[in-house]
Homo-oligomer: A and B are copies of this chain.
Amino acid sequence: MSKPSIPQGTRDFSPAEVRRRQFIFNTLRSIFELYGFQPLETPSMENLVTLTGKYGEEGDRLIFKILNNGLHEKKDAEREKLNGEWNNILSRSYSSPVVTERALRYDLTIPFARYVVMHQNDIALPFRRYQMQPVWRADRPQKGRYREFWQCDADVVGSTSLINEAELLCIYQQAFQKLNVPVTIKINSRKLLAALSELCGMSEKMMDITIAMDKLDKIGWVGVANELKERGISEDGIWQIERVINVTGTNEEKLVAFSDIMQHSPSGMEGINELSKTLAFYNELDPTASFKTTGQDTNIQIDISLARGLNYYTGVIVEVVCSHPDVKMGSIGGGGRYDDLTGLFGLKGVSGVGVSFGIDRICDVMEELKAFPEQLAEGTKAMLVNFGGENETYALQILQQLRTANIPAEIYPDASKFDKQMKYANRRGIAYVLLPGDEERQKNMVSVKNFVTGEQKMMSIAETIVLLSH
A126 proximal to B (CB < 8 A): yes
Q: Are B287 and A115 in contact (CB under 8 A)?
A: no
> A96–B43 Cα gap in the complex (Å)?
27
Interface string of A110-125 (1 = CB under 8 A from B): 0000110111001011
Known: A47-B5, A346-B3. Contact between A90 and B102, CB under 8 A? no
Query: Known pairs A13-B40, A126-B412. 5 more at Cβ < 8 A?
Result: A10-B45, A12-B41, A44-B104, A72-B90, A82-B90
Q: Are B79 and A69 in contact (CB under 8 A)?
A: no
Q: Which chain B residues border A392 with CB–CB below 8 Å?
A: 163
A253 proximal to B (CB < 8 A): no
Complex copy number for this chain: 2
Q: Are A345 and B4 in contact (CB under 8 A)?
A: yes
Q: Which chain B residues border A70 with CB–CB below 8 Å?
A: 61, 138
A77 proximal to B (CB < 8 A): no
> A151–B287 Cα gap in the complex (Å)?
38
Interface segment out of the listed A403-411, A435-443, A450-458, A460-468: A403-411
Q: Are A71 and B43 in contact (CB under 8 A)?
A: no
Known: A66-B104, A345-B4. Contact between A35 and B72, CB under 8 A? no
Q: Are A400 and B126 in contact (CB under 8 A)?
A: no
Q: Are A284 and B397 in contact (CB under 8 A)?
A: yes
A109 proximal to B (CB < 8 A): no
Q: Which chain B residues border A17 with CB–CB below 8 Å?
A: 41
Number of interface residues of A (CB under 8 A): 113
Known: A7-B47, A36-B410, A346-B1. Contact between A90 and B79, CB under 8 A? yes
Q: Pick the contact of A403 from B7, B34, B163 — CB < 8 Å?
A: B34
Q: Which chain B residues border A379 with CB–CB below 8 Å?
A: 33, 36-38
Q: Which chain B residues border A49 with CB–CB below 8 Å?
A: 2
Would you give 28 A-B contacts (Cβ < 8 Å), ordered by A? A4-B117, A4-B118, A5-B50, A6-B45, A13-B40, A13-B41, A15-B39, A19-B39, A35-B410, A36-B379, A36-B380, A36-B410, A44-B104, A45-B64, A45-B136, A61-B70, A64-B66, A64-B69, A67-B67, A67-B100, A70-B138, A72-B91, A126-B414, A163-B411, A164-B413, A167-B413, A281-B396, A287-B400
Q: Which chain B residues border A126 with CB–CB below 8 Å?
A: 412-414, 424
A428 proximal to B (CB < 8 A): yes
Interface string of A42-62 (1 = CB under 8 A from B): 111111011000000000011
Q: Pick the contact of A89 from B1, B43, B71 — CB < 8 Å?
A: B71
